[in-house]
């Protein structure tokens, strides 16, 4: 492509950004023209699109739902708190009182380290490490939340519904992923092209974020999706807690085994029909 063409595209984009106001559809058309002309690469275009759309999205669109939260209790001793950290590998945890609607603060995993040094006799008191929790409404726009995270240097907020109950949790990473895409760490699993992967033994690997509607269609069942949208959310409720890898539960004719969890949600399950389970030979 000639330099004149490059210059023309850049001039139009510059005018769109700094000149007279125009609608965003016009801007996106020219940005896509710039990608096609190799002025922008695909990754850069996706990030620009993320920046342009983040103001339209709300916290409820990206939060980790209440049923999938990993929490600590204000009545837990140090050993119990450390077990939660070891099992989940995250750096921040909400601390609850009598129930999940009573979030009394946040514990940072690093604040527990001082009490674990060998030979150091320090009396542990939860209030000494408890940090204040930040609460945000479900309806808060993501661009506003990101600005507040940066200004206050907070990385986590508790999401509340219109009645003041805890609806979920959101982190600065969740917001940034809307711009730059998925930020994977050692606790994430690779996403396959399909949510449900049948195995030769009659079982299937099912991603936790598989819509219940898709699960029903694949297995010919009718699990309710009135309260939860995903299989992971539904099963977290049945467990009554966020399960660890290896935990199993029987539910409506199926055995579900957790094969991957990232500390905030069920990532993957192995699913077997009860009839298949019953037909398997006894190892004994």
* pLDDT tier for residue 186 given thresholds of 50, 70 and 90: very low
Over residues 14-20, the mean pLDDT reads 52
HEC readout, 67-116? HHCCCEECCCCHHHHHHHHHHHCCCEEEEECCCCCCEEEEEEHHHHHHHH
Sheet holding 266-273, edge to edge: 196-198, 204-207, 266-273, 254-261, 248-251
Q: State how far the Cα of 207 lies from the Cα of 216, in Å rounded to an integer.
A: 14
- Average pLDDT across the chain, whole number: 79
* pLDDT tier for residue 133 given thresholds of 50, 70 and 90: very high
Over residues 228-245, the mean pLDDT reads 84
Q: State how far the Cα of 175 lies from the Cα of 186, in Å rounded to an integer.
A: 19
In the chain the domains, ranked by start, together with CATH numbers, are 3-59 (no CATH), 62-180 (3.10.580.10), 196-279 (3.30.465.10)
Assessment of whether the complete model's pTM goes beyond 0.85: no
Buried b (16+ CB within 10 A) or exposed e, 187-200: eeeeeeeebbeeee
Three-state secondary structure call for residue 280: coil
Q: State how far the Cα of 246 lies from the Cα of 261, in Å rounded to an integer.
A: 10
Whether 260 has a pLDDT exceeding 90, the answer reads: no
Over residues 96-107, the mean pLDDT reads 91
* pLDDT tier for residue 119 given thresholds of 50, 70 and 90: low
Backbone angles phi, psi at 168, to 5 degrees: 170, -155
pLDDT at 227: 77
Name the residue with higher pLDDT: 6 or 241: 241
CB-based contact 196:209 (threshold 8 Å) = no
Whether 223 has a pLDDT exceeding 50, the answer reads: yes
Whether 30 has a pLDDT exceeding 50, the answer reads: yes
pLDDT at 226: 79
């Amino acid at each position: 492509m000639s330099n004149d063409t490059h210059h023309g595209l850049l001039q139009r984009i510059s005018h769109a950004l700094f000149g007279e106001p125009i609608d965003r559809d016009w801007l996106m058309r020219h940005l896509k023209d710039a990608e096609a002309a190799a002025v922008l690469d695909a990754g850069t275009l996706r990030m620009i699109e993320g920046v342009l759309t983040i103001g339209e999205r709300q916290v409820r669109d990206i939060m980790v739902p209440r049923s999938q939260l990993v929490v600590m209790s204000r009545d837990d001793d140090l050993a119990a708190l450390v077990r939660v950290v070891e099992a989940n590998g995250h750096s921040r945890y909400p601390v609850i009182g009598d129930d999940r609607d009573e979030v009394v603060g946040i514990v940072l995993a690093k604040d527990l380290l001082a009490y674990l040094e060998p030979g150091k006799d320090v009396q542990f008191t939860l209030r000494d490490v408890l940090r204040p929790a930040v609460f945000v409404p479900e309806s808060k726009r993501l661009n506003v939340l990101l600005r507040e995270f940066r200004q206050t240097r907070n990385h986590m907020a508790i999401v509340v519904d219109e009645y003041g109950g805890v609806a979920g949790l959101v982190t600065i990473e969740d917001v940034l992923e809307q711009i730059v895409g998925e930020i994977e760490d050692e606790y994430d699993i690779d996403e396959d092209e399909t949510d449900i992967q049948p195995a030769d033994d009659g079982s299937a690997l099912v991603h936790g974020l598989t819509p219940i509607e898709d699960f029903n269609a694949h297995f010919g069942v009718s699990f309710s999706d009135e309260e939860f949208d995903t299989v992971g959310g539904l099963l977290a409720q049945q467990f009554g807690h966020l399960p660890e890898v290896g935990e199993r539960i029987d539910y409506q004719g199926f055995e579900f085994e957790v094969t991957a969890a990232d500390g905030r949600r069920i990532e993957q399950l192995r699913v077997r029909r009860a009839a298949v389970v019953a037909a398997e030979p006894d190892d004994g």
